[in-house]
Amino acid sequence: METDIVQAVARYAEETMGQEGFHYVSAVVANCKMLALELETLGENPVTLDLDALVIAAYLHDISTVTHGYQNHHVKSAEMAVEFLGECNADAERISKVEQVILTHTKVVPTEERNADISEGQVLYDADKLGRLSGLAVVTSLIEFGARYPNQAVTGEVLAAILRHIEERFIELYQGLHTEPARTMARDKFNRSLAFLDGVIEHLSDATPV
């Protein structure tokens, strides 16, 4: 791995996005590495990826969102990545590959069009989406509910409705994942989220609403 450039990219991402944003992209980087390892060790059809390009793109794929928001963020983030990597004297081939990975990381390839050729952009897509299935998905749903209904008590019934919402999100997200390792990880994360919510719902069923 191109350690010097990766370290410079990580520092740039942290300085630009702040601790919260950097924490998220670091989780995406970790997901990318796990998925790449799983794909490289698949039985009869191992997939070899450009891990350097994948990791660099993972650090930089949301780099523009701090100042430009999420609208077409893949385009602006790719532009910023190209500029920064040029300043780091990365070679032209590496810069071009990272740019392509970022530009394609938001694209869902329909199931009927998929083949055995998994790209770095598809792996980054999967790694990015896996973050939505962690416990953070539960917290985010609760925050969204609280903002929309500030005077509504949180009861077992309310959490059951949120659970159904998370299930709907999961189905939509799961169907868009490109790789089998990502689908396996998604199922594990989703089942843990379900177990957590089921426990809370059971507790609240006999408790005073909060």
pTM of the predicted model, to two decimals? Answer: 0.79
- The structural domains of the chain, with segments of one domain joined by +, span 1-111, 134-210
CB neighbour class for 117 (10 Å; exposed up to 12, middle 13-18, buried from 19): exposed
What span, in angstroms and rounded, lies between the C-alpha atoms of 101 and 99?
Answer: 6
Across 200-208, average pLDDT: 60
SS in 3 state form for 140-177? HHHHHHHHHCCCCCCCHHHHHHHHHHHHHHHHHHHHHC
Each residue's pLDDT tens digit, 68-114: 888 889 999 999 999 999 999 999 999 999 999 999 998 877 776 66
Across 146-174, average pLDDT: 74
List all residues 6 or more positions away from 82 whose beta carbon is below 8 Å from its beta carbon.
95, 98, 99
Each residue's pLDDT tens digit, 183-203: 888 888 777 767 776 676 676
Cβ 97 vs Cβ 50: under 8 Å: yes
